[in-house]
Amino acid sequence: MNNIKISVIIPIYNTEKYLEETLDSILNQTMIDDVEVLMIDDGSKDNSRKIIEKYASEYDNFYGFYNENVGQGCERNFGMEHARGEYIHFMDSDDYIPPKAYEKLYEIAKEEDYDIVMGNISKFTSNSTWNEHLYETVYKEVDEYISSTNIHQNKALVYDTSPTNKIIKRSFLEENQILFPDERIFYEDLFFTIKMHHFAKKVGILHEDVYYWRSRRDSSSTSQQVNQIGNFKDRINILNFIQDFLEKKNENEIIDAEHNKWLEHDLLRYINKDDPYTESDYEILFSEINKILDNTEENVKNNLNTHKRIIYKNIENNDIEHLRKFKEIDSNLKANPNIIRSLDADYEELDNFDDDAKAEDLVANLESIKINKDNKDLILKVEAYVPYFTDKNNSKIKFKIIETLNKSGISEYHLRKSLKNLNIENYDYVMDGNEDNSYEIVIPYEEQKKLDGTYNIFISYENENIKKEGLLKFRKPKKILNNGNMEIFAKFWLLRFFNLEINEKRDEEIHITNIKIITKGNNLNPSFNKILHIDLESNEKIDKLIIENLVTFKKMEYETNSISYDENNYKFSVDIPFKDILPFVIRKWELKSEDNIRVKIPKTFRYKDDKIKITMKNNKNRLFIESIYHKTEVEPKGNKNDGKSNKTKKIIRKLANFLRK
């Protein structure tokens, strides 16, 4: 390959369950022909290596490298040695990148010849996405219209601690000799990114999700295992690296910004309510944190809120007993700060909760939604409060049902901007504040009939000293309720905001009569060459069908193909390409008509190829399509005898890599 624009470096260790999904997300990039992918096996014990070999053999711009287990940082350095692209992207082997990420990042990079172009990171599971807290902090401080910044202009970039949400100019890395630590060490990302930001003169910002970080229950990821004292020592080790580096560079302002971040985030991760530590663990914890506190300027410590100042006060006093007592109420303190009075310690000198509340966002969660069986009223139980705010009884909580702010494909940044520009009057419900933070919204059945469409619930929490506004959130993926001739669909969408869809039930239905998979096309990704061909019938003419993503609400329309039509029976078909439903981090869709006529399937449809499973099934009156990656069945290492010894294979690979360079 010549004129490579982006080199993607992926260290891989025991991620066979997710690896193909990760590699396919790169394969699905709109500028894949200008990308090289360096897949570096870090001594995997599972079938990851077989998957690497498969992609390296099938795609000219995917290259496999096989090393002993030396750690992620060392493998990324190895990848930089072999990279030929103008820009470099580091990717983890269980994550996901949206289809236009490289195209958008590269386009911005070339506009102003940026050293770095970064975008937003969201975390994800198979059911939902949400913003990663650290990157919310970065983007709160960066205006949409800033075309260029750097860490000296914007100290919030200390919160940009991942190399995965950006492309970095390779010549910039080489000129400044920016590498990951060459020893086996955890949290190496933090050291790499602060060095990178120190040297960068021009950093471009894209206000869109460019990277999805998988949240795994089974994760062996260092960043997702914090209940261990060894993990704490690893983080302290890297924080010391950062301190030494910044002191040598005389970066006093950035040191202050880093100390603030450590006290706000890094260290608090280890002071959690589960209390997994022994007495000797606490001695280590207190000793190391006190070293940092001793090096931290007083103004940085004084800028912490009451909650955090109490925690660090106990640590400065080496008071394990009171820290443990405080941690017992820790999780409830935001919602009910007055419970601190139940402790025997005197924290009055640190108590400034109402001022702390001014810096917080409104918390508003839908706890439950149900139908009153007697009168068909819709009842929403809501928890709403301003964190740390104490004067609840003199507050008013106002609720307004508004037409949804959801637009297909809207970004989280622009959604937040839309919220700021809302001007709400004439609230539907006004209630007095209370200590329980619990409220009940009752939508009478007659009022439900007046609603037809999709809605959000806007909330205002007001007091003479404070006013906070926001949208109600929902923790469950979806809930469908039937209420007389009304159908109610409750679900969350971006940022987990609650979306309430209310429609009058229709007698008309669309019935699926047959489904088959058609292969057509020459896309690099074989799954993208397949089409979901669906035959249907209805008692009226249907011109279009729509699929809508259950989380992002992205919609795609498909014209129907008429088969036959008479007065009472219309037969037609629709083709939905796999390439439309697969390249999304959440692959859950609803199939319906333009005017919300429901689609019915007589029985659940399932399809499976070597990597994708697709399921179509009804849930009450709605038809959902879900696609997932499943574990590829590849032959275990060592079972295949192709006539070549392992030594011969290594020689062949080394020769191939030499010729490639």
Dihedral-angle region of residue 96 (phi above 0 means left; psi in -120 to 50 means alpha; beta otherwise): beta
Cβ neighbours of residue 81 closer than 8 Å, sequence gap 6 or more: none
Cβ neighbours of residue 170 closer than 8 Å, sequence gap 6 or more: 7, 80, 83, 85, 86, 87, 88
pLDDT of residue 643 exceeding 70: no
Between residues 330 and 40, which one has the greater pLDDT? Answer: 40
Q: Name the pLDDT band for 637 (thresholds 50, 70, 90).
A: very low
Burial class (CB in 10 A: 0-12, 13-18, 19+), 509: middle
8 Å CB contact between 106 and 170: no
Between residues 564 and 146, which one has the greater pLDDT? Answer: 564
- Rounded distance between C-alpha atoms, residue 394 and residue 433, angstroms: 7
CATH 3.20.20.70 assigned to 1-220: no
> What is the model's pLDDT at position 182?
84
- The upper half-sphere exposure of residue 262, i.e. CA atoms within 13 Å in the direction of its Cβ, equals 28
Element (H, E) at 77: helix 72-82
Residue type, 562: S
Which one, of 67, 169, 52, 186, lies nearest residue 118 by Cα? 169
Which one, of 379, 363, 362, lies nearest residue 371 by Cα? 379
Cβ neighbours of residue 130 closer than 8 Å, sequence gap 6 or more: 122, 123, 124, 495, 496
> What is the model's pLDDT at position 9?
98
Which one, of 270, 64, 81, 317, lies nearest residue 182 by Cα? 81
Radius of gyration over every alpha carbon of the chain, rounded to an integer in angstroms? 27
8 Å CB contact between 132 and 243: no
Written as six digits, the tokens of 76 are 């990324």
3-class DSSP state of 601? coil
- Rounded distance between C-alpha atoms, residue 493 and residue 454, angstroms: 12
Fold identical between 363-501 and 509-629? yes
> What is the model's pLDDT at position 352?
86
pLDDT of residue 536 exceeding 90: yes
Which one, of 601, 634, 633, 631, lies nearest residue 618 by Cα? 601
Q: HEC profile for 625-657?
A: EEEEECCCCCCCCCCCCCCCCHHHHHHHHHHHH
CATH number of 509-629: 2.60.40
The overall pTM is greater than 0.85: yes
State whether the Cα torsion 159-164-169-173 is positive or negative.
Answer: positive
Q: Name the pLDDT band for 636 (thresholds 50, 70, 90).
A: very low
pLDDT of residue 443 exceeding 80: yes
Q: What is the pLDDT of residues 388-400, one digit of tens each?
A: 999 898 999 999 9
Q: Name the pLDDT band for 93 (thresholds 50, 70, 90).
A: very high
- 380: β partners: 369, 441
8 Å CB contact between 625 and 615: yes
8 Å CB contact between 285 and 233: no
8 Å CB contact between 40 and 10: yes
> To 10 degrees, the CA torsion angle through 307, 311, 312, 314?
140
Q: Name the pLDDT band for 227 (thresholds 50, 70, 90).
A: low
Question: Strands 6-12, 35-42: parallel, antiparallel or unpaired by DSSP?
Answer: parallel
- 532: β partners: 517, 576
Sketch the domain layout of the chain as residue ranges. Answer: 1-220, 226-351, 363-501, 509-629
> What is the model's pLDDT at position 520?
87
8 Å CB contact between 272 and 245: no
Which one, of 210, 285, 222, lies nearest residue 72 by Cα? 222
Cβ neighbours of residue 512 closer than 8 Å, sequence gap 6 or more: 534, 535, 536, 599, 600, 601, 602, 605, 616, 623
> What is the model's pLDDT at position 640?
37
pLDDT of residue 575 exceeding 60: yes
- Rounded distance between C-alpha atoms, residue 596 and residue 591, angstroms: 9
Element (H, E) at 290: helix 279-295
Question: Strands 509-519, 598-600: parallel, antiparallel or unpaired by DSSP?
Answer: parallel
Which one, of 136, 135, 220, 123, lies nearest residue 585 by Cα? 123
Q: How far is CA 503 from CA 62, 239, 407, in A?
A: 49, 55, 18
> What is the model's pLDDT at position 274?
67
> What is the model's pLDDT at position 649?
46
CB atoms within 10 A of CB 152: 14
> What is the model's pLDDT at position 143?
65
Written as six digits, the tokens of 153 are 């202009």
- Rounded distance between C-alpha atoms, residue 63 and residue 139, angstroms: 35
CATH T-level assignment (fold) for domain 363-501: Immunoglobulin-like (2.60.40)
8 Å CB contact between 59 and 152: no
Between residues 241 and 350, which one has the greater pLDDT? Answer: 241
Q: What is the pLDDT of residues 244-256, one digit of tens each?
A: 999 999 999 999 9
Q: How far is CA 207 from CA 31, 92, 202, 413, in A?
A: 20, 21, 16, 6
- 168: β partners: 88, 116
Q: How far is CA 95 from CA 84, 307, 422, in A?
A: 23, 34, 35
- Rounded distance between C-alpha atoms, residue 623 and residue 61, angstroms: 39
> What is the model's pLDDT at position 125?
85
Written as six digits, the tokens of 54 are 């498969």
- Rounded distance between C-alpha atoms, residue 119 and residue 207, angstroms: 6
DSSP assigned state of 265: I
